[in-house]
Amino acid sequence: MRYVSTRGEAAPRGFEDVLLAGLAEDGGLFLPESWPTLTPDEWRSLRGLPYAELSARLIHRFAGEALTLEELRGLTAEAYAGFRHPAVVPLVQLGPNEFALELFHGPTLAFKDVALQLLGRLFDHVLKKRGERITIVGATSGDTGSAAIEACRDREAVDIVILHPEGRTSDVQRRQMTTVPSPNVMNLAIQGSFDDCQDLVKSMFVDAPFRREMRLAAVNSINWARIAAQIPYYAYAALSLGAPDREVAVSVPTGNFGNVLAGWAAKRMGLPIGKFLIGSNRNDILARFLASNDMSAKPVEPSLSPSMDIQVSSNFERLLFELLGRDAGATARQMKDFRASGRMPVPDAAWREAAKHFTGFTLDDAGTLAEIQRLHRETGYLADPHTAVATAAARALMPESRIPVIIAATAHPAKFPDAVQRATGIRPPLPPALADLHERPERFTVLPNDLGEVEAQVRAHARRNTADA
């Protein structure tokens, strides 16, 4: 299995190199040279498997010769052993054909754990084999940071630096990152938005001398291995609901487009996913694009669903590359124009192709609170604000659906207790392992949105840990 960059100027490479590189040197994102596909009989043979086994078998299709199936079985078994639910990603029925796919039973209560608990182990496995050390840098709008830190804390060959927008995550989200005392972990609170944090991370990767010096690696969904590790939970849900002999739909709350892209990749592999519903909050660039081909960035506005407070959706580039017939030159031009002007003039034919598969939906804060309240009143289910956006999208766009709609429940309600309490009067408690989170000391550094200052902090962190090693 080989991987190519969406911008065409980076050399193709294998799975291990893509894992460690994250972003391509030309600024593009890696995708498989060709998509692995399964026949209906092959999909049927995966029904009923434990989640760790299903995950190993599907990810092996993307790892190629880099990892044996037995190696992957060991890594996935270890990654998911600590999840609080024996099914790892259980389905909960909310309506006649509405099913919440609960992705928040990992250590940090968010869907990012499903991929990152495996990714941390993949890094360790490959680095030990190569005798190398890396510095991971990542940007987070709330959940990726804590999941990445939990996956990488105390690992011998890894330093990790996470950037989050100061004051724009929930209190629980921030504390899950900043209370980790491990010496290989650094948190930077950037005075700006998530998009600013993401731009800083991308700028570090395209700064070739700095990238080589620090041996940078990525845990954001710009890293293809993150996407590959998310594909299995869509397969698990679809197979549980009758695929490949029954079509399903998927509703996902999304900001950076990575989670829904993993579902789309499952479709490319042969799963019968007929429709993707994309839920947005007031930061609705994806919904506007799908409705009217308006891909124009606006200032990021804080909301009750902060993980979706994003205007530059990195993973959209991967879909754009496919929509443009894998024309890397055209993709690079589109992305360059978007960066320069804040607008992306997607060709009409490509937009129409996207609209065949994806439908956007927008919900403001008042609507989000109303949906949390409705869900609890009618079903007894407590949903966090992001999940509520996805359930509202399913009800609005596929009412009385004859096919099952898989709703990505991306975070535990206890990560957003203020919003849940406002809507229902119930303040969801943290699980016992996190019960003392608000008493733990925090450790982070506030920095301006300045690449030089951020790189200096990253360099000092990595050098100190290397010297101590």
Spell 240-267 as b/e; 16+ CB within 10 A means b: bbebbeebbbbbbbbbbbbbbbbbbbbb
Listed as own residue / partner, the contacts of 198-201 with beta carbons closer than 8 Å and 24 or more positions apart are 198/139, 198/256, 198/310, 198/312, 198/314, 199/312, 200/139, 200/163, 200/449, 200/451, 200/454, 201/137, 201/138, 201/139, 201/163
Tokens of 24: 């391509």
How far does the chain reach from its first CA to its final CA, in angstroms?
35
Tokens of 430: 């943290």
Q: Is the whole model's pTM more than 0.85, yes or no?
A: yes
Spell 386-395 as b/e; 16+ CB within 10 A means b: bbbbbbbbbb
Average pLDDT, 10 consecutive residues per value, the chain (469 residues): 97 96 92 98 98 98 96 98 97 97 97 95 93 94 90 93 95 96 97 94 94 92 94 98 98 93 98 97 95 94 92 93 98 94 94 97 98 98 98 96 97 96 97 94 98 97 67
Which residues, listed in sequence order, are joined to residue 407 by a DSSP beta bridge? 100, 251
Looking at the annotation, which residues are catalytic? 112
Predicted pLDDT at 466: 63
Residues 6+ apart with CB under 8 A from 102: 85, 89, 90, 91, 92, 409
CA distances in angstroms from 343 to 127, 253, 254, 268, listed in the order given: 40, 23, 20, 28
CA distance 469 to 457: 18
Predicted pLDDT at 256: 86
Predicted pLDDT at 465: 63
Judge whether 1 and 15 are in contact, CB under 8 Å: yes
Compute the CA torsion angle 81, 85, 86, 87 (nearest 10 deg): -110
Judge whether 138 and 151 are in contact, CB under 8 Å: no
Ranges of H-type helices in 66-192 = 69-80, 112-130, 144-152, 171-178
Label the pairing between strands 98-102 and 91-95: antiparallel
Q: What is the DSSP string of 122-158?
A: HHHHHHHHHT--EEEEEE-SSSHHHHHHHHHTT-TTE
CA distance 108 to 79: 13
Angle at 188 between CA 253 and CA 258, to 5 degrees: 25
Q: Which domains does the chain have, with CATH numbers?
A: 91-109+227-424 (3.40.50.1100)
Of the candidates 238, 301, 294, 231, the residue with the CA atom closest to the CA atom of residue 271: 238
Of the candidates 112, 89, 119, 106, the residue with the CA atom closest to the CA atom of residue 407: 89
DSSP assignment letter at 47 = T
Tokens of 354: 């996207």
CA distance 245 to 152: 39
The amino acid sitting at 254 is T
Judge whether 72 and 119 are in contact, CB under 8 Å: no
CA distance 327 to 320: 9
Predicted pLDDT at 469: 44
CA distance 49 to 30: 29
Give the dihedral sign, CA 434/438/440/441.
Answer: positive
